[in-house]
Amino acid sequence: MADKQQKLDALKRLSLLFDDGEYELLDGSADTGARIAHGTVYGTAVFAYVEGGCGAFSNATAAKLSKVYNLAEKTGSPVVAVYDSKGVDLQGGGLTLDACAELLGRCSAVSGVVPQVSVVAGTCGGFESVCASLADICLMESNAEFFLTAPFNDLSDTDARKIAGSAEFAQKASAAAIVCDGEEALFAKTRQVVGMLPSNNLEVPPFCDFAEPEKTAAEDAVLGTVDAGSEIELFSGKGKSSKVYLATVVGSPVGIVSIDGRVCRNDSLKIARLVQFCDAFSVPVVTFINSEGFLVSSDNDMNGGIRNAALLSHVISQATTVKVAVVTGSAIGSLFSVLCGRYSAADMCLAWNSAVIGELTPKASVAVMWPDRIEKDSDIEKLAVQYAAEEESAEKAFESGIIDKVIAPEATRKAVADALDMLASKRVRNNSRKHGNMPY
């Protein structure tokens, strides 16, 4: 896989990453095939560690990467680490193991302090795959290799084994958030991601240039709300009923969650990952909901559905960043509470005037609340429409106080932008404690 691509050396990769291809090298030697440098990405100061596909990861390369993290922590600057090596140098023995352990500690120490972006441009295996996965966002070139244990050591004959180490595998495993074809596209996307993030957890997200959307919210809720061409989808390999993005709304970076269908365990986990990342750097989260609830499946519950739903609720409740929910279709039962509850999940909840909000789906509600009106099966459909209009409408939800505003679909972009502007000065501090216990 990695051999199919046209390899670039470390200096060429640095020139693709930094503004105008300009940077300052911070090491005096290229013997390891890896270089470290300082430059800007869309004007933001960034430190980078870049491998060029030559040699193995040794004590010397570990020292370079440690230097990058040390400087980033001191200055409050993002880190971009580009991986492409032949693995860990086996001649280093215990010293290499100790250097690897130090790096894992450094990656974790700055997690949530400065943005970390990893870029898999060639082979990234073993220890380096753990380092790459500790980053906030991991991008991967479509022909690169990404694995924890070498695929050729697995003698099984499963579908997973057949694609092990590939970009397809990394996406399905949620190890790679973004996959790009070719290194120029890879580094262009890396620049776009870094350009949307603040320098550190004490800075506000940057203001970005923007253009009005080409679609209306009625055509596509997300594309009709975010700035044209700003959306970057993450973790597309997991969760069939949800999509998550980084994007901008009127130039301001936001995290976007879009739900269309019942939420399974993978959807819950994917959404939680985005919310936690956005919260670490005070990036607002806007959630669009059209769902009749969590997936009805014993297998899903057994394999993490309950636990991941609880994890999602925990992450959203603990997030102190700005949170706006928009019900574009249905929001039913516990899913409404998890995603839209104003005292835990959302600072402001908007709903389209056609939305359906209730404890049960209209059909289920009719069966429970209006059984005396059902004379034949065909009555249920007609009564469900009536029940939704009378008891589960957006206006009814507004009157009961569980949502803040009813809007027309074409007003979505303005309503979201107004809500983000109103909430921009939000200040919330959680209770003092070591940490909460998330239901992993």
Question: pLDDT (tens digit, 9 = 90+) per residue, 6-41?
Answer: 678 999 999 999 999 999 999 887 777 789 999 999
CB distance 228 to 399 below 8 Å: no
pLDDT at 90 over 90: no
Least confident window among 53-57, 181-185, 391-395: 53-57
pLDDT of the residue at 54: 74
Every domain of the chain and the residues it spans: 2-195, 232-355+393-422
**Smallest Cα–Cα separation from 286: which of 265, 307, 271, 267?**
271
Q: Indicate the pLDDT class of residue 98, thresholds 50, 70 and 90.
A: confident
pLDDT of the residue at 126: 87
Would you tell me which CATH number, out of the four given (3.40.640.10, 3.40.50.300, 3.40.50.620, 3.90.226.10), belongs to the domain 232-355+393-422? Answer: 3.90.226.10
Residue 13: both structure tokens together: 């990769």
pLDDT at 2 over 80: no
Residue 30: both structure tokens together: 């290229």
pLDDT of the residue at 1: 47
Question: pLDDT (tens digit, 9 = 90+) per residue, 397-411?
Answer: 999 999 999 999 999
Angle subtended at Cα 288 by Cα 284 and Cα 290, rounded to the nearest 5 degrees: 160
CATH number for the domain running over 2-195? 3.90.226.10
pLDDT at 3 over 50: no
pLDDT of the residue at 340: 95
Please report, rounded to a whole number, the percentage of residues in the chain having pLDDT higher than 70.
96
Question: pLDDT (tens digit, 9 = 90+) per residue, 70-83?
Answer: 999 999 999 999 99
Number of residues that make up the chain = 440
pLDDT at 5 over 60: no
Instruction: Average the pLDDT over 87-113 and give the result.
Output: 83
pLDDT at 159 over 90: no
Measured in degrees and rounded to the nearest 5, phi and psi for residue 234 equal -120, 150
Partners of residue 138 on adjacent β-strands: 118
pLDDT at 63 over 60: yes
pLDDT of the residue at 92: 67
pLDDT at 324 over 60: yes
- Shared fold status for 2-195 and 232-355+393-422: yes
Percent composition of the chain: helix, strand, coil (DSSP 3-state, to 5): 40, 20, 40
pLDDT at 193 over 80: yes
Question: pLDDT (tens digit, 9 = 90+) per residue, 223-257?
Answer: 999 999 999 999 999 999 999 999 999 999 999 99
Considering the entire predicted model, what is its pTM?
Answer: 0.93
Least confident window among 59-68, 179-188, 237-246, 252-261: 59-68
Question: 3-state secondary structure string, 299-324?
Answer: HHHHHHHHHHHHHHHHHHHHCCCCEE
Please report, rounded to a whole number, the percentage of residues in the chain having pLDDT higher than 90.
76
User: 301-310 burial by CB neighbour count: b if 16+ within 10 A, else e?
Assistant: beebbebbbb
Least confident window among 295-299, 305-309, 349-353, 371-375: 371-375
Q: Indicate the pLDDT class of residue 146, thresholds 50, 70 and 90.
A: very high
pLDDT of the residue at 95: 67
| Beta strands at 123-125 and 405-407: parallel, antiparallel or unpaired | unpaired
pLDDT of the residue at 124: 93
> Who contacts 336 (Cβ-Cβ below 8 Å, separation ≥6)?
289, 327, 357, 402
Tell me the torsion sign for CA atoms 326, 330, 336, 338: negative
pLDDT of the residue at 289: 98
Least confident window among 31-35, 39-43, 100-104, 288-292: 31-35
> Who contacts 251 (Cβ-Cβ below 8 Å, separation ≥6)?
207, 208, 209, 210, 227
